[in-house]
């Protein structure tokens, strides 16, 4: 186990290093540059580039940035010049984590439950209805479901607030809107996986011993069928925890999704790379957690160095 963890940790550092390097090089190579909009003189522009260590070749800029990054310094934001990248991310990330955490719970729990019920009642009206709902949820993008939620539950019915962030009522609509496509995918994945496991010989043996379908699925099939779902939950967690620009825009939430877009629009290489560092670190971490969880869910799987 220790050798596996060490190997995965080292490989994760390599992946993070590659992603960060590529992101930084692409961001500093954008046409226009971060200081073009200010219409500075050549001397003033050169002074600003030297101040923020954006002078010299792209490789020398990357080298200086990586050295600062290894010291835990994400540099300063060129858009919010009074704040460091760490401070900007520290202000925005908590909102995205709250929104994403709520959406993750809804998608994971709701999707597994819906898939389980659909598999247990295969080809019934309940199965067809739930899978039709899942298909619709996957097909309709959040920039449509978001305004629909606002118009129906916020403006017409007045059940929920249509903007702001910080209270449970304000969290309900954006969390469900963000979770819906993932919930639908988890439901379909759970159903198909359970139906595949349900046809195995040991499931027929369990039923022959007198277990009903629901008990056999819960006790024996779910442990195996859940593995593909767990595989999907890793990257899904990283995505929802870093927020969604569309959902954050519709419901007026200041989160990490807005940071990505603003950093690109304002040609802010340090802020953009810092946001990518956070997202990549979460993605690598959750994929590692998924690998470790395999051994607890299926004893046949062993982690080897």
Residues 133 and 7 in one domain: no
What is the pLDDT at residue 237? 82
Residues 65 and 110 in one domain: no
CATH number of the structural domain spanning residue 200: 1.10.3720.10
What is the pLDDT at residue 106? 92
pTM (predicted TM-score): 0.78
User: How far apart are the C-alpha atoms of 174 and 201, rounded to whole Å?
Assistant: 43
pLDDT, average across residues 20-48: 74
Domain final residue, candidates 70, 102, 124: 70
Per-residue pLDDT band at 289 (split at 50, 70, 90): confident
What is the pLDDT at residue 247? 84
The distance from CA 49 to its chain's CA centroid, rounded to whole angstroms, is 34
- pLDDT tens figures, 66-89: 888 888 888 887 777 667 888 888
Mean pLDDT of all residues belonging to the chain: 79
User: How far apart are the C-alpha atoms of 42 and 22, rounded to whole Å?
Assistant: 28
Residues 131 and 277 in one domain: yes
Q: Domain containing 123: what range?
A: 89-297
The distance from CA 265 to its chain's CA centroid, rounded to whole angstroms, is 22
Residues 141 and 257 in one domain: yes
Residues 191 and 265 in one domain: yes
- pLDDT tens figures, 108-154: 999 888 888 888 778 788 888 888 888 888 888 888 888 888 888 88
pLDDT, average across residues 6-35: 80
Residues 32 and 119 in one domain: no
Asked, for residue 251, whether it belongs to a domain, the answer is: yes
Domain final residue, candidates 39, 70, 101: 70
Burial of 122 (0-12, 13-18, 19+ CB in 10 A): middle
Asked, for residue 83, whether it belongs to a domain, the answer is: no
Residues 173, 160: contact at Cβ < 8 Å? yes
Asked, for residue 252, whether it belongs to a domain, the answer is: yes
What is the pLDDT at residue 205? 66
User: How far apart are the C-alpha atoms of 276 and 238, rounded to whole Å?
Assistant: 11
Asked, for residue 289, whether it belongs to a domain, the answer is: yes
What is the pLDDT at residue 248? 82
Long-range CB contacts (< 8 A, 24+ apart) of 168-175? 170/251, 171/98, 171/99, 171/102, 173/146, 173/149, 173/251, 174/99, 174/103, 174/146, 174/247, 174/248, 174/250, 174/251, 174/253, 175/99, 175/102, 175/103, 175/106
Residues 137 and 99 in one domain: yes
pLDDT above 60: residue 305: no
- pLDDT tens figures, 221-279: 676 777 788 888 877 887 787 767 788 888 888 888 778 877 877 778 888 888 888 88
Query: What total number of domains does the chain contain?
Result: 2
Structure token digits, residue 9: 């940790």
Per-residue pLDDT band at 300 (split at 50, 70, 90): low
Asked, for residue 276, whether it belongs to a domain, the answer is: yes
112 compared with 35, residue with greater pLDDT: 112
What is the pLDDT at residue 141? 83
pLDDT above 70: residue 61: yes
Q: How far is CA 41 from CA 36, 44, 269, 302, in A?
A: 10, 5, 21, 62
């Amino acid at each position: 186990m220790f050798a596996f963890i060490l190997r995965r940790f080292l490989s994760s550092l390599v992946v993070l290093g590659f992603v960060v390097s590529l992101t930084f090089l692409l961001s500093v190579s954008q046409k226009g540059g971060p200081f073009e909009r200010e219409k500075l003189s050549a001397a003033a522009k050169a002074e600003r580039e030297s101040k923020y260590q954006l002078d010299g070749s792209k490789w020398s800029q990357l080298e200086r940035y990586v050295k600062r990054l290894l010291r835990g310094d994400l540099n300063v934001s060129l858009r919010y010049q009074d704040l460091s990248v760490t401070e900007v991310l520290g202000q925005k990330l908590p909102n995205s984590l709250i929104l994403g955490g709520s959406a993750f719970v809804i998608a994971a729990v709701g999707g597994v439950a819906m898939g389980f019920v659909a598999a247990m009642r295969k080809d019934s009206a309940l199965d067809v209805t739930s899978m039709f709902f899942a298909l619709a949820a996957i097909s309709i993008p959040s920039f449509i479901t978001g305004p629909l939620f606002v118009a129906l539950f916020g403006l017409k019915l007045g059940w929920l607030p249509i903007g702001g962030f910080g209270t449970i009522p304000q969290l309900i609509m954006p969390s469900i809107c963000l979770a819906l496509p993932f919930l639908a995918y988890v439901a379909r994945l759970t159903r198909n996986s359970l139906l595949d496991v349900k046809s195995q010989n040991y499931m027929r043996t369990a039923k022959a011993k007198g277990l009903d379908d629901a008990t056999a699925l819960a006790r024996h099939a779910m442990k195996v069928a859940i593995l593909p779902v767990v595989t999907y939950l890793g990257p899904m967690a990283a995505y929802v925890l870093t927020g969604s620009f569309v959902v954050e825009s519709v419901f007026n939430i200041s989160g990490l999704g807005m940071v990505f877009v603003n950093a690109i629009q304002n040609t802010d290489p340090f802020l953009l790379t810092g946001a990518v560092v956070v997202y990549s670190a979460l993605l690598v971490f959750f994929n590692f957690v998924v690998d470790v969880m395999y051994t607890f869910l299926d004893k046949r799987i062993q982690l080897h160095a």
